[in-house]
Amino acid sequence: MSTVRVAINGYGTIGKRVADAVDAQDDMEVVGVTKTGPSFGCEMAVRKNFDIYCTSDDPDMIASFESSPFKCKGGLKDLLSISDVVIDCSPGKMGAENLGKYQDAGVKSIFQGGEKHSLTGLSYTSCANHSENYGAETTRVVSCNTTGLSRTLVPLYEHCGSLKVECTMIRRAADPGDSKKGPINAIKPVLKVPSHHGPDVMTVKPEIEINSLAVAVPTTIMHVHAIIADLPEGHGLSTESVIEMWKSSPRVIVMNGEGNRITTTAEVMEMARDIGRKWGDLHEIFVWEDGVRLMGNRLYYFQAIHQESDVIPENIDCVRALMEIEKNWQKSVKKTDDAISSYYNI
Ligand SMILES: NC(=O)c1ccc[n+]([C@@H]2O[C@H](COP(=O)([O-])OP(=O)(O)OC[C@H]3O[C@@H](n4cnc5c(N)ncnc54)[C@H](OP(=O)(O)O)[C@@H]3O)[C@@H](O)[C@H]2O)c1
């Protein structure tokens, strides 16, 4: 079978990571990435041998590359004309404008969590609803927080058959490369209650009853979730068996915090840098083993989310779903993760 031709529209925090992850696979290839103009980031695309296109078809914007060292091969239309699927990694809320362009070009599309579910009417997480996305024209890979919640809650739901969840999202204020956002010396509650994060899980697994609160805190390196899940009577689980369940779930790392001296997000990120993935990324959700406790039917736990990277491998599985390459989500996850590991030699 020929490789799937993937366009990356928006080569920023998420786009550059998705491009590398696509490049790591043997069943898909990057046919081009887009930038608004010749700026920081283009050099990396050149080093990776990715063709650069402009996010726009406006001749003036395309011409802005002419006085730079970076060759722009054309506008978005030109890129779409040689693509099978586009992964939209533009800043949130630009999706509505872009979706029409993809549809006009007859190209399948994958959006990110900055867009609303209503844009596509379909959302995606590898472990929750890969098969529902099989062959779809357009979908949305849910946000980093929703992805993180799905990774630990879906296996629990699959075991229990029902689940009621309350969680508090302790959110990083900004990405490390973002100098515009805050707070820098305050804790900012999200006053829209419940926050959108928990209910967003229901776009991929409607059977899980979930609500959330959120606060933003002055850190750039990870989100932390404090989760309380009520399991149904007769769940048959113990603290130990829940931990074992997550240890055998893909893209979840369970580690003893005190024993390994990984008691904060700072050490989790240091461990991620040690693993050797580019940018110090951690695609997996990190659960503190000693922070898991099942008391009767009520389960308490904490998990940490590397906001810039947990959604990256999900985008790859999502390409396989839309392009009908692999129906079995576990097989896709394994193929994706093995390819990324050998790409970075880890
Ligand atoms: N950052 C995270 O932690 C995170 C986590 C999960 C999901 N997401 C979601 O992922 C999406 C992308 O976020 P991001 O953090 O990667 O944003 P970002 O770092 O700001 O990057 C956005 C990229 O889109 C380009 N762009 C600007 N206008 C565009 C347009 N009209 N069409 C196409 N591309 C355009 C920008 O070009 P220039 O480089 O030329 O400016 C930039 O390369 C959002 O939906 C966000 O909510 C982000």
pLDDT, one tens digit per residue, over 200-247 is 999 999 999 999 999 999 999 999 999 999 999 999 999 999 999 999
Q: How far apart are the first and last CA of the chain?
A: 28
CATH class of 4-142+311-343: alpha beta
- Find the residues whose C-beta lies inside 6 A of ligand 1: 9-15, 34-37, 39, 41, 55, 89-92, 94, 98, 112-115, 143-144, 175, 307-308, 311
Active site residues: 144
Whose alpha carbon is nearest atom 42 of ligand 1?
Answer: 12
Q: What is the pLDDT of residues 276-315, one digit of tens each?
A: 889 999 999 999 999 999 999 999 999 999 999 999 999 9
pLDDT reading at 101 higher than 80: yes
Say how many Å lie between the CA of residue 49 and the centre of ligand 1. Answer: 21
Whose alpha carbon is nearest atom 3 of ligand 1?
Answer: 308
pLDDT number for residue 1: 67
pLDDT number for residue 258: 96
Domain boundaries, the chain: 4-142+311-343, 144-305
Q: What is the mean pLDDT of residues 262-270?
A: 97
- Residue that the structure tokens 């390819």 belong to: 339
What is the full DSSP assignment across 274-317?
HHT-GGG---SEEEEGGG-EEETTEEEEEEEE-TTTTTHHHHHH
Say how many Å lie between the CA of residue 182 and the centre of ligand 1. Answer: 18
Residue % of the chain over a pLDDT of 90: 97
Mean pLDDT taken over the chain: 97
Q: Which residue type, as a one-letter code, is found at position 308?
A: E
pLDDT reading at 197 higher than 80: yes
pLDDT number for residue 346: 74
- Residue 335 confidence class, pLDDT cut points 50, 70, 90: very high
Give the architecture (CATH level 2) of 144-305: 2-Layer Sandwich (3.30)
Q: What is the pLDDT of residues 110-156, one digit of tens each?
A: 999 999 999 999 999 999 999 999 999 999 999 999 999 999 999 99
19 three-class SS: helix
pLDDT number for residue 277: 86
Backbone angles phi, psi at 285, to 5 degrees: -90, 135
